[in-house]
Structure 1
Amino acid sequence: MACTAEEEAHLKQTAEQGFRSSTSPIQKLRYACLMRGANGIKGLGRSFRIMDDDGSKTLDFREFRDGLRDYGLRELDDQTIADVFKELDKDGSGKLSYDEFLVAIRGPMNKTREEYVKQAFKKMDATGDGQITIEDIRRLYDASQHPKFMSGEWTEDQCFRHFLNSFDSPGNPDGVVTWDEFLNYYAGVSASIDEDGYFATMMKRAWRL
């Protein structure tokens, strides 16, 4: 499941400390995203997809800079943004693939951790179509015991949508969670956890793996 409030607070605190101490432009950007919580990296991906007006899946410097600004990453000065772009634009083309960019920003997740994330996603993707939707949740969970369903405040679909929104980008939920979005979410969680054993325990407990 999504991070608990305690885990989310720990992630933000860790990111703030990392942002202050880091000298790497890419790490600073990563920490700035994670200061917004586990959804921070995935939310940035959404912001860039919106900026990609021509559907090229690339960003020039203006789109890159404006995407960061629109997402609210005010902690980053213009020089840091320029340094990140230059470091990632390895061929000097003046264009970035935002898929490659997101891989660089979410940072390394070792194979052990990624395997637990894959298991959780596979369990949730009941239809096997590569995305988690309300229909997948409906097949797996009974919403009748949810307190807000029992009180009549929410319908069954509203209960399911609330669950999906935990993994969706703040301000732009679409009710569909892809593998990349799911992985980006847990990349944020992983960044705040030092021990593989603790990460494994958390995933097993949360998803009954």
Structure 2
Amino acid sequence: MGAKKSKETSSHPKKSDPAELTQEEIQLLLQNTHFNQKQIEEWHSGFIKDCPKGKLDKKKFIDVYKQFYPHGKADKFCGHVFKTFDTDGSGEIDFVEFLIAISVTSQGDIKDKLRMAFNMYDIDKNGRIDKKEMEKIIEAIYDLLGEENRKGENSPPRRVLKIMAKLDKNNDGSLSPDEFINGCLNDEILRHLLAPNAC
């Protein structure tokens, strides 16, 4: 950001090695996560062990995620999660993106977690979640959880109608971040479905 040059550490003037953790990255993570420097360095060494090039691609990300949901199909859901974490749209998650996401999902306050869930569900990134986007997410969640019963009241379109009826306070057919966050805060069942890590 500033034009002031920092002291160049070792032989890496401009992070020529993506697996290296720079002082700037440590500072950024100290400011934007709940981790201390020792924890950041421990996370980094684990990340580099799994991703020696310092980047996590979508396939590897899905493979890791599948370990948590061995009975479901994680691909669709992981695609949405991956896009949310890949903040620069590079198709890969670097260590900084990874740790900020981990911090929010594991230690952030409930509103931060719900905001991240909203960002994940806002597929076209227009700041609103419409019925089509919500339906895709419900289908992805069903796949992830191995939910076979998708008939009647439990069908994704019916489920979405119920969710929208509860959360869409101004009846404009889409959810704003506030409608989504406040609705999930006020409805434990929806919060468990749409943002399980916020419970």
Give TM-score scaled by structure 1 length. 0.30
- Which of the two has higher C-alpha Rg? 2
RCO greater where, 1 or 2, for CA within 8 Å and sep 6 or more? 1
Give TM-score scaled by structure 2 length. 0.31
